[in-house]
Amino acid sequence: MKGIQLEKPWQRDPVTGVILGAEPFAMGEGSHAVLFLHGWSSSPRELRFLGDRVAQAGFRCRGPLLKGHGTRLSDLEPTRFPDFLAAAESEFDALAAAHDRVSVCGLSMGGLLGLQLAARRPVANLVLIAPFLTPSGATCGLPNRWLVGRVPLPAIMAKRLPGPIADPAGTESHIAYHAMATRSMVSVVEAARGFSAYIPKVVCPTLILHSIHDTTSDFAGSEMLIRRLGSEDKTLVVFNRGNHVITLDYEKERLEETALEWLIKRRSVSTIPSGVGSRESGEKRKPGEP
C-alpha cells in the first residue's frame, strides 16, 4: 500500500497565518483581465507561474486565495462549494467593473468554478486545466464518481503518495493540504454532478488542458465537456507526461505556451451572444443554479 502524505513544515505569515508562497497574486496591466482560480485544498501558487507569463503579455491577472485555503486544514472543514462560488463571483464582478473584458482560468475545482461563472457571467474566454467534473479511480471495485457523497466517510481522510504531480520537483514545491476535509470535498463533487445539465449554457471560447494520466479528475470529464459545451470555439489539448496539477508538472512549459498563445489570439475578439451569461438578462434562477 502506498504511504500517506504528511504535513510539510510550512512557514506562515505571523499576522495572517497564510503559508508563505500561498498568497493571492495580482500582476500585470491591461484592459483585458484574467481571473485565476486554484483547486480545492491547494493555493494560488499552482497558477502563479502561468499568471506571470500571461501578465507579461499585457493582461491584468488576479489569483485570489479561496476561503479555507492556504492556512490550516481545520479552516477548510467548514467550507462548502457555495462559499468558493460566491468568492469567484465577487472577484469576477470586481474585475469586470474595471476592465473591458474578463477571462477565467481555473485548475481542477477552479475549472468547475470557471464553468459556473461562464454560465452566470459574461466570461470572455475560459481556460480549464484538469477541470473537476468526475472523480478518478475506484474503491473496492466501485467507481469513486458514484461512491463520493453516497457512502459515509470519516471527517478527515489522508491523501496517498505520491500525490497529484508526477515531477518530484513539482511535488516538493506544491503548496496544498496533506489530507482531505471530506464534507467540503463532497460538496464539490455534488456541485460537479449538479452542473452537468448546464454545460450547454457555456458558450464562450473554451480551452481545455488535461492529462490522460490524471488520478484526481477523470479525463473522461473533459471528453464529455468538449462534446457538450455550447461554444463553437472549443479545444481539448491532451497531456501525457504528468498527473493532475500539470501547471507544476513535467509539461508545464508546454501548458504555459499553449494557454498564452490561445489567450492572445482571443484577446479582443468577443464571440459571446448578446445577453448570454449576463447578470442583467433578467433570467431568474433557483438557489444554486447557474
Tell me if 145 sits within 8 A of 219, measured CB to CB. Answer: no
Q: Please check whether residue 69 lies inside any domain of the structure.
A: yes
Q: Please check whether residue 31 lies inside any domain of the structure.
A: yes
Task: Residue 186: give the domain boundaries.
Answer: 25-265
Q: Please check whether residue 276 lies inside any domain of the structure.
A: no
- Nearest of 253, 126, 102 to residue 202 by alpha carbon: 126
Q: Please check whether residue 278 lies inside any domain of the structure.
A: no
pTM: 0.91
- Nearest of 123, 59, 68, 69 to residue 91 by alpha carbon: 123
Q: What is the pLDDT of residue 29?
A: 96
Q: Please check whether residue 275 lies inside any domain of the structure.
A: no
Q: Please check whether residue 221 lies inside any domain of the structure.
A: yes
Q: What are the pLDDT digits (tens) for 14-33?
A: 999 999 999 999 999 999 99
CATH code for the domain in which residue 108 is found: 3.40.50.1820
Name, in order, each residue with C-beta under 8 angstroms of 169's C-beta and a sequence gap of 6 or more.
Answer: none
Q: What are the pLDDT digits (tens) for 51-102?
A: 999 999 999 999 999 999 999 999 999 999 999 999 999 999 999 999 999 9
How many structural domains does the chain have?
A: 1
Q: Please check whether residue 279 lies inside any domain of the structure.
A: no
